[in-house]
């Protein structure tokens, strides 16, 4: 059961994703969360640094899809100016949106990574759906109401995983 809570990688930010390593592993697509993964949950648009990163990722040949539990207005307001495809109201950790994003990119699960800032939604959902998962440190300190609840549960889960030796990183 605990295997679903353990990401394949843990990184300080999306900018630390090793694109060269992903290419060597035949990864061609990135499914990413939006809020507190790419930008703070209450920031309506991409930062200049993030726009540069997204451009670079695309130039390296990767397809990117945002999969978010947030509503259509929030996700489309962010995604449309960047040209990144998206799925809103994803109901993560359910796997349907992850599989749909993969299919929309025309890729196999083995060619896609799932990246996000929450264990209970992004990592559990990605792992249950059979993807390689990357957990990143949240970019913002604040969270919406439901995410705050998730983070409390997440801290307990992560502490238990550390005690069992299933994760080795430090917060």
Return the pLDDT at 159. 75
CA–CA distance, 34 with 68 (Å, rounded to integer): 6
Q: Select 2-163's CATH number: 3.60.10.10, 3.40.50.720, 3.40.50.1000, 3.40.50.300.
A: 3.40.50.1000
Of the two residues 154 and 65, the one the predictor is more confident about is 65
Return the pLDDT at 162. 76
Q: What angle do CA 125, 47, 17 make, to 5 degrees?
A: 45
pLDDT tens sequence across 70-117: 999 999 999 999 999 999 999 999 999 999 999 999 999 999 999 999
For 120, half-sphere exposure in the C-beta direction (CA atoms, 13 angstrom radius) is: 13
Domain ranges of the chain: 2-163
Count other Cβ atoms within 10 Å, centred on residue 125: 29
Indicate the pLDDT class of residue 169, thresholds 50, 70 and 90: low
Give the position of tokens 């939006």. Answer: 34
pLDDT tens sequence across 131-164: 999 999 999 776 666 667 777 777 777 777 777 7
């Amino acid at each position: 059961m605990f295997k679903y809570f353990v990401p394949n990688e843990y990184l300080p930010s999306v900018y630390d994703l090793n694109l060269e390593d992903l290419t060597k592993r035949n990864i061609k697509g990135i499914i990413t969360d939006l809020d507190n993964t790419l930008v703070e949950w209450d920031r309506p648009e991409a930062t200049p640094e993030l726009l540069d990163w997204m451009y670079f990722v695309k130039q390296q040949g990767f397809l990117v899809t945002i999969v978010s539990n947030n509503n259509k207005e929030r996700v489309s307001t962010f995604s449309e100016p960047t040209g990144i495809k998206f799925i809103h109201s994803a109901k993560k950790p359910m796997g349907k949106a992850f599989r749909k994003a993969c299919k929309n990119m025309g890729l196999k699960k083995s060619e896609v990574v799932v990246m996000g800032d929450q264990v209970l939604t992004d990592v559990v959902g990605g792992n249950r759906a059979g993807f390689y998962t990357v957990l990143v440190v949240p970019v913002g300190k604040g969270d919406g109401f439901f995410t705050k609840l998730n983070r409390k549960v997440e801290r307990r889960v992560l502490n238990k995983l550390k005690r069992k030796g299933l994760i080795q990183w430090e917060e």
